[in-house]
Amino acid sequence: KNPLDGLPTSNFNLEDWKRAYSNKDTCGKDGAFEWLYEHFDKEGFSLWWVDFKYNNDLTQTFKSSN
Q: Mean pLDDT, the chain, as a whole number?
A: 86
Q: Is position 39 within any domain?
A: yes
Residues 56, 64: contact at Cβ < 8 Å?
A: no
In angstroms, rounded to a whole number, what is the distance separating the alpha carbons of residues 28 and 43?
25
User: Residue 17: its pLDDT value, please?
Assistant: 94
Lowest mean pLDDT among 15-19, 23-27, 54-58: 54-58
In angstroms, rounded to a whole number, what is the distance separating the alpha carbons of residues 40 and 48?
13
User: Residue 63: its pLDDT value, please?
Assistant: 62
Quote the pTM value.
0.64
Q: Is position 3 within any domain?
A: no
pLDDT, one tens digit per residue, over 24-56 is 888 888 899 999 999 999 988 999 988 878 878
Residue 66 clears pLDDT 80, i.e. is over it: no
Q: Which domain holds residue 60?
A: 9-64
Q: Is position 47 within any domain?
A: yes
Q: Is position 23 within any domain?
A: yes
Residues 52, 58: contact at Cβ < 8 Å?
A: yes
